[in-house]
Structure 1
Amino acid sequence: MALNLKRKRLENILAICVVTVFMGQVYISPFSQWFRFSLAVLILSLLLIYFKDVSVMAVSSSIAILMFLFRSFIHFIGNNDITFFKTLFHYVPVAMFYLIYGLLFKILNIRNKLDRPIVFILYLWICDSVGNMSEAILRSFWIDVDFDRVILLIILVGLLRSLITCFIYQIILYYKNSFEREQKENKFRELLLFTARLKTELFFLKKSMVDIEDMMEKSYELYEELEEPRLQDKALNISKNIHEIKKDYLRVVLGMEKTLSEENENLHMSIKDIFKIIKDNTYKLIDLGNKNISLEFSIKHNFKTSDFYPLISILNNLIINAIDAIESEGSIVVEESMSGKNYIFRITDNGTGIEEDDIDLIFEPGFTTKFDKTTGKMSTGIGLSHVKHIVESHYNGKIYLKDVEENTTLFEVKIPAPEIERR
Structure 2
Amino acid sequence: MWKREKIEQTAMAAAVTVFMGQLYLSPVTGWFRISMAVMTLSILLLYFRQVSAIAVSFIVALAMPFFRAFVEYVSLSRAVPFEDLFANFFPVAIFYILFGILFELFRIREKADNPLLFIISLWFCDSAGNIAEISYRSTSNQFDFSHAVYEIIVIGLIRSVLTYAFYTYSIYYKNRYDREKKEERYREMMLFISSLKSELFFLRKSMNDIEDTMRRSYRLYRELGAGEMKEEALTVAKNIHEIKKDYYRVVDGMENVLSEKNKSSSMNISEIFEIMKENTRKIVAQKGKEIQIEFSCHEDFTTCEFYPIISVLNNLITNAIDAIEEKGKITVSEHADSIFFVLRVEDDGCGIDEGNMEVLFEPGFSTKYDPATGKMSTGIGLAHVNEIVINHFNGQVEVHRKKDGICTVFELKLPREAVENRGQKSDEC
Question: What residue is the counterpart of 1:209 in the other structure?
Answer: 207
| Distance change in 2, residues 1:239/1:84 (3 Å) | closer
Question: What residue is the counterpart of 1:310 in the other structure?
Answer: 308
SS in 1 for 2:91: helix
Question: What residue is the counterpart of 2:414 in the other structure?
Answer: 415
User: Per-residue CA shift, 1:182-207, capped at 9, x if unaligned?
Assistant: 11000000000000000001111111
Question: What residue is the counterpart of 1:57 in the other structure?
Answer: 54
Q: What residue identity is the alignment partner of 2:400?
A: K
Q: What residue identity is the alignment partner of 2:350?
A: T
Question: What residue is the counterpart of 2:427 in the other structure?
Answer: none
After TM superposition, give the deviation of residue 85 of structure 1 in Å.
Answer: 4.9
* Whole-Å separation in 1 of the counterparts to 2:236 and 2:15: 78
**Gaps in structure 2 of 5+ consecutive residues:** 423-429
* Whole-Å separation in 2 of the counterparts to 1:79 and 1:362: 82
User: Per-residue CA shift, 1:211-253, capped at 9, x if unaligned?
Assistant: 1111111111111111133222221221122122112111211
* Whole-Å separation in 2 of the counterparts to 1:81 and 1:289: 63
| Distance change in 2, residues 1:81/1:261 (3 Å) | closer
Q: More deviation in 192-201 or 296-305?
A: 296-305
* Whole-Å separation in 1 of the counterparts to 2:378 and 2:85: 82
* Whole-Å separation in 1 of the counterparts to 2:78 and 2:341: 87
**Gaps in structure 1 of 5+ consecutive residues:** none
Question: What residue is the counterpart of 1:346 in the other structure?
Answer: 344
| Distance change in 2, residues 1:244/1:79 (3 Å) | closer
* Whole-Å separation in 1 of the counterparts to 2:41 and 2:55: 13
Q: What residue identity is the alignment partner of 1:302?
A: D
Q: More deviation in 295-304 or 363-372?
A: 363-372
Q: What residue identity is the alignment partner of 1:55?
A: S
Mapping of residues 16-415 of structure 1, within 5 Å: 16-74=13-71, 78=76, 85-406=83-404, 407-415=406-414
Size of the aligned set, in residue pairs, is 420
SS in 1 for 2:139: coil
**Cα RMSD for the two superposed structures:** 2.2
| Distance change in 2, residues 1:81/1:376 (3 Å) | closer
* Whole-Å separation in 1 of the counterparts to 2:366 and 2:8: 60
User: What TM-score, normalized to structure 1?
Assistant: 0.92
* Whole-Å separation in 2 of the counterparts to 1:354 and 1:80: 81
Q: More deviation in 55-64 or 72-81?
A: 72-81
Q: What residue identity is the alignment partner of 2:373?
A: T
Percentage of matched positions with identical amino acids: 48
* Whole-Å separation in 1 of the counterparts to 2:33 and 2:122: 18
Q: What residue identity is the alignment partner of 1:286?
A: V
| Distance change in 2, residues 1:30/1:327 (3 Å) | closer
After TM superposition, give the deviation of residue 377 of structure 1 in Å.
Answer: 2.4
* Whole-Å separation in 2 of the counterparts to 1:357 and 1:92: 88
* Whole-Å separation in 2 of the counterparts to 1:375 and 1:140: 80
User: Per-residue CA shift, 1:282-311, capped at 9, x if unaligned?
Assistant: 122222222222211121111111110000
Q: More deviation in 170-179 or 21-30?
A: 21-30
Q: Say whether the 8 Å CA contact 2:351–2:401 is kept in structure 1.
A: no
Q: What residue identity is the alignment partner of 1:304?
A: T
Structure with greater contact order relative to length (CA < 8 Å, sep ≥ 6): 2
| Distance change in 2, residues 1:68/1:388 (3 Å) | same
| Distance change in 2, residues 1:61/1:360 (3 Å) | same
SS in 2 for 1:155: helix
